[in-house]
Amino acid sequence: MTYDERLQNVTVLGAAGKMGSGILLLTAVEMADLALKPENKGKAFILNAIDVSPEGLSGLMNYLRGQVRKIAEKKTVWLRKMYADRDDLIENFDIIDEYIFHVLSIVWPSTTLEAAYKSNLVFEAVIENKDLKVKLLSQIRENTSENTWFFTNTSSVPINLIEKDAGLEGRILGFHFYNPPAVQKLVELITTDNTKEEVKEFALAYAKSLKKVVVPSNDFAGFIGNGHFMRDALHGLKEAEALAAEKNIPLYKAIYMINKVTQDYLVRPMGIFQLIDYVGIDVVSFIMSVMNPYHEDEEIEHHLLDKMLEQGVKGGQYSSGAQKDGFLKYKGGKVVAVWDIHKQEYVDLDKFQQECDEMLGDLPESHVAWKSTLRMKNKEEVLKTFFDNLKTLGTLGAELAVRYGRRSKEIGEQLVNSGVAHNIDDVNTVMLTGFFHAYGPVNNYFD
Amino acid sequence: MKKMRRKVYMTAGYNTISLGTGRREFNPKKPRPGIEHYIKEAGQAVLEKIGGADNVDESVIGNFMAARFNKQGHLDGFFPMIDKGLAMKPAVRVEGACASGGLSLATGIRHVLAETADVVLSLGVEVQNPVKAIYGADILALAGWFQKRKQGHAYFFPGQFSDRAGAYYEKYGYDRTRKGMARWYANAIENARLDPTAQEYHNTNPDPYGTALKMKPNGKVFVDNLSVLDCSKVSDAASGIVICSEEGLKRIGVDKKDAVEVIGFGHAVRDLTEDPKDLTELETIKFAAHQALENAGITIDQVGTVETHDCFSIAGILAVEALGLAAKGEGADYVDEGKTSRNGEMPMNTTGGLIGWGHPTGGTGVHQAVTIWQQLTGKAGDAQIEIPGDRPYGLTINMGGDDVTVVSIVFKRG
């Protein structure tokens, strides 16, 4: 089966979810572009978008329409060539509309699993629940040919367990996109000892066509991305509690401070608590619970997460992509308040922000915003100057930041030492391309 | 072209800002003023300078494609909205693609020459930002022959002038041409920074020449032979001016020294359905500009400043050659040597031109006249250049489509 043939019938499970919808979009566009090739004229390309939620699927189609328009607007020059023989399509308007219709007509939404039975490739992007994944994949396996391959988007469950329990020997691999899949360049590729070479080859070709950066990870729960993020988050949670105790301040103030340190002082796109909210407190907690049993010498769990969930505060996102409130409360994408876990209410930033900022101390003048580093040619030099200043500053903020930076490095090295990542570069690539960090965690800035 | 049978003046010019990318106040995500706002602002500002709407006999508005950019036709009906005093008076909307503004002026001049009016309010307007550039390209492509749209580039007009640039590179050398084009861009930016209404007024690039030279054309993302810096931007703006007879000038109470006299003009069209004979020559511009000079009874060496239609930097270079300032194939060198800069031999586009000030397609012709009026009457503010006593004339060249419709006007201080 050629690359094009394999992509003639594909299924995405959990297509209406946050990750599933992005995977579906990228795959639909890839398939649509294949279908436009002269040699594929007249062949049917079908992408089954399967989800339990009809409302979600309806929302998915709207999402696709908007996103495909944006994609089409960026490649109109190419599309004009593809539609050169269509005399009825003259203006860019006509061509873009036709392309949107073309992509959408490839996508067949469905709420029943039977739709997947003729697929050559199944992407699994349902919630992080091993039993559910195994159940769905087993059922498809029982009803499809031996030639069907399975890609799971799990970010934490070891692939070999799914492989074994679903009876998919050699036919499955981990193809882990980062959120949002349409934007983040990274894909973690996880094979098992059994994964057939041709499955891996196809995965690499597919990733290349999607212009993704592939980082191979070994098959350990959490892989590289969550292996780092979860431990980094744990450090943040512990630091917040320790800070509250040491300074005798309410926890919400400490959460604000650690969030600020991890964003402004560490020059990251968002602070650690905002990132936990972005991913979802429930998802973070769940991933930790998946990882924890595989790490006997470590406790990958934190009672603050459980407490937040008990109080019904979960973070995550609305289907519109807007941020739900979690540790922090958001207005127009900006943080406006922090959850007080004792009083179970949000406390407005303006009531305590100044006091906390004073405790942290001023940032040195060499400070640089994360966004401005994106196009900086001398990024390393600028960061080195800033972090060097932090090391000698002596303020509370600087002290917390340096300790955080060191811990982040330690986590990165641990991932290599324990055999999760092949090397330091892979760890850094994951954090740079999957988490959009300005610099890799394994560096010399904080030594 | 017959000699001017009556003295014609222009005065009371006004430009709105040219809004679009580059202006700090431009935010594509926020609501912006509509076409009515621009018409009103420019119209009212002119009326204020001439003693009100009662002094106006007729009105003309030049506009290219409001019917598609703004889903609005019938623009002459907006004149009474500018001022109730314009109700029940003649008004007309004229269109000749990006020469619509020039046609607004030419129509006004003819009305005065025909003695049906002593005071004509002439406006030009285009509001393009409601439509994304990729769809705006479709709308602007209507300045070409629709039968050829299918085979054209997604960015149709950049595609047309990319072909012209490519032919020029091949004939006269890539590097020297790119240098001339980069210098054209740099001049445009430097001039625009001196005019607070210009779209590139806020541009702070310390080395626009270097930037333009470094940015190589890339056909994979845009067109083969032009970079985005070789192109005018998407603009929202309106300009207005009054065209009047000597009697009209008295009626509105404006001193001659605050007006410019139209000494002569040229107006020509080429067959829209035919390709240009020579891609490295702007035949209609050459014809119409020489017609204007001849009509005025002067030669190009008596002209002190030129406003030319640089929708693309290559069009600026080809206009230099069409005017006879440089021989064919030497226009790029002429520009690169700084001869068209504000301190050069022939200052061109002294408030930035289409690339620097902005290109509100149907408004551009009127904007050019306002700039010449400002320069010749000493009202150009920071952008003021010195007009030599032995070269007291100003010249405008306004082009529609790919050298299809051209209006060229010769001015002198009144």
pLDDT in single tens digits along all 447 residues of chain A = 999 999 999 999 999 998 999 999 999 999 999 999 999 999 999 999 999 999 999 999 999 999 999 999 999 999 999 999 999 999 999 999 999 999 999 999 999 999 999 999 999 999 988 999 999 999 999 999 999 999 999 998 999 999 999 999 999 999 999 988 998 999 999 999 999 999 999 999 999 999 999 999 999 989 999 999 999 999 999 999 999 999 999 999 999 999 999 999 999 999 999 999 999 999 999 999 989 988 888 999 999 999 999 999 999 987 667 899 999 999 988 999 999 999 999 999 999 999 999 999 999 899 999 999 988 889 999 999 999 999 999 999 999 999 999 999 999 999 999 999 999 999 999 999 999 999 999 999 999
Q: In what order do the strands lie in the sheet with A334-340?
A: A328-331, A334-340, A345-348
- Residue B355 sits in the same domain as residue B337: yes
Q: Are residues B248 and B192 in the same domain?
A: no
Question: Is the backbone of residue B168 left (phi > 0), alpha (psi -120 to 50) or beta?
Answer: alpha
- CATH number at B34 reads 3.40.47.10
End-to-end CA distance of chain A: 52
**Cα–Cα distances in angstroms (integers) from residue B282 to residues A90, A364, B270, B365, in the given order:** 27, 58, 11, 17
The residue type found at A36 is L
Contact status of A384 with chain B (Cβ, < 8 Å):
no
- Do B340 and B348 contact (CB within 8 A), yes or no? yes
Pair B153, B53 in one domain? no
Residue B384 DSSP label: -
Question: Is B284 inside a domain boundary?
Answer: yes
CB-CB neighbors (< 8 A) of B222 in chain A: 77
B149 to chain A, closest Cα gap in Å: 7
State the sign of the Cα–Cα–Cα–Cα dihedral B39, B42, B44, B50.
negative
Tens of pLDDT, residue by residue, chain B (414 residues): 789 999 999 999 999 999 999 999 999 889 999 999 999 999 999 999 999 999 999 999 999 999 999 999 999 999 999 999 999 999 999 999 999 999 999 999 999 999 999 999 999 999 999 999 999 999 999 999 999 999 999 999 999 999 999 999 999 999 999 999 999 999 999 999 999 999 999 999 999 999 999 999 999 889 999 999 999 999 999 999 999 999 999 999 999 999 999 999 999 999 999 999 999 999 999 999 999 999 999 999 999 999 999 999 999 999 999 999 999 999 999 999 999 999 999 999 999 999 999 999 999 999 999 999 999 999 999 999 999 999 999 999 999 999 999 999 999 998
B325-343 CB burial, b ≥16 within 10 A, e <16: bbeeebbbbbbbbebbbbe
Q: Are residues B21 and B67 in the same domain?
A: yes
- Rounded Cα distance, A284 and A274, in Å: 12
Task: State the Cα–Cα distance between residues A444 and A403, nearest whole angstrom.
Answer: 13
Mutation for testing the A interface, residue in B30, B68, B135, B157 having most A CBs under 10 Å: B135
User: How close B140 gets to chain A, by Cα (Å)?
Assistant: 11
Closest residue of chain B to A83, computed from CA coordinates: B150
User: CA of A167: how far to CAs of A142, A170, A386, in Å?
Assistant: 9, 9, 53
Which of B240, B198, B304, B220 lies closest to B78, judged by CA? B240
Q: A80 CB near a chain B CB, below 8 Å?
A: yes
Residue B218 lies in a domain: yes
Give yes or no: B231 in active site: no
Report the residue from A77, A79, A92 with minimal CB separation from B138.
A92
Please name the residue that has the structure tokens 């993020």: A229
The residue count of chain A comes to 447
Residue B3 belongs to some domain of the structure: no
In this structure, are B190 and B157 located in the same domain?
yes
From first CA to last CA, the distance across chain B in angstroms is: 23
Residue B138 inside a domain? The answer is no
Tokens read off for B178: 């790119």
Residue type, A92: N
Q: Which domain holds residue B175?
A: 145-228+263-413
In whole angstroms, how far apart are CA A307 and each of A14, A58, A301, A339? 28, 34, 12, 12
Which pair of structure tokens corresponds to residue A405?
């930076």
Which is catalytic among the residues B153, B267, B309, B359? B359
Nearest residue of A to residue B133, measured between CA atoms:
A73
Q: Which of B74, B98, B311, B367 is catalytic?
A: B98
Report yes or no: B149 at the A interface, CB cutoff 8 Å.
Answer: yes
Q: What does the alpha-carbon distance between residue B311 and residue B129 come to, in Å, rounded to a whole number? A: 17
CA-derived radius of gyration, chain B? 19
H or E, element range at B210: helix B208-214
Q: Could you say which DSSP state residue A210 is in?
A: T
Q: How far is B179 from chain A (nearest CA, A)?
A: 26
Q: Do B134 and A96 touch (CB under 8 A)?
A: yes
With CA atoms as reference, the chain B residue closest to A80 would be B154
Asked if residue B137 belongs to a domain, the reply is no
Do residues B222 and B118 share a domain? no
Shared-domain flag, residues B186 and B293: yes
Whether residues B175 and B36 share a domain: the answer is no
Give the Cα separation of B48 and A175 in Å (integer): 68
- Let me know if residue B1 belongs to a domain: no
Q: What is the pLDDT of residue A319?
A: 66
Split into its structural domains, chain B has a count of: 2
Nearest 5°: CA angle at A227, between A223 and A232?
Answer: 160
Q: Do B154 and A93 touch (CB under 8 A)?
A: no
Cα distances (angstroms) measured from residue A326 to each of A156, A268, A272, A273, A352: 22, 19, 12, 8, 18
Same domain, B290 and B303: yes
Same domain as B385, residue B367: yes
The answer to whether the CB atoms of B141 and A87 lie below 8 A apart is: no
Please tell me whether residue B149 adopts helix, strand or coil conformation: coil
Residue B135 near chain A (CB below 8 Å): yes
| φ and ψ at residue A346, rounded to 5 degrees | -85, 140
Cα A106 to Cα A10, A85, A92, B20, distances in angstroms? 10, 21, 21, 38
- Nearest-angstrom CA–CA distance, A230 and A301: 9
Q: Write the CA distances from B269 to A253, B65, B293, integer angstroms.
A: 73, 19, 17
Which domains does chain A possess?
A: 3-216 (3.40.50.720), 225-433 (1.10.1040)
Respond yes or no: is residue B98 known to be catalytic.
yes
A213 three-class SS:
strand
**Minimum Cα–Cα distance from B147: chain A residue:** A90
Where does residue A223 fall: left (phi above 0), alpha (psi -120 to 50 degrees), or beta otherwise? left
DSSP track, B5-58: SS-EEEEEEEE---BSTTSTT--TTS----HHHHHHHHHHHHHHHTT-GGG--E
Q: Is A93 in Cβ contact with B135 (below 8 Å)?
A: yes
Residue (of A161, A160, A172) closest to A124 by Cα position: A172
Please state the φ and ψ torsions of residue B96, each to the nearest 5 degrees.
Answer: -150, 60
User: What tokens appear for A55 in the block?
Assistant: 């409302």
Residue B192 domain flag:
yes
CA distance to partner chain A, nearest, from residue B45 (Å): 37
B155 and B31, same structural domain? no
Strand, helix or coil for residue A166:
helix
- Same-domain check for residues B205 and B291: yes
**Distance, CA of B69 to chain centre:** 19
Hey, is the C-beta of A92 within 8 angstroms of any chain B C-beta? yes
Neighbouring-strand partners of residue A217: A421
B215-273 pLDDT, tens digit each? 999 998 899 999 999 999 999 999 999 999 999 999 999 999 999 999 999 999 999 99
Cβ–Cβ contact A86 with B under 8 A? no
H/E element, A386: helix A379-393
- Provide the pLDDT for residue B34: 97
A-interface mutation test, from B150, B162, B218, most A Cβ less than 10 A away: B150
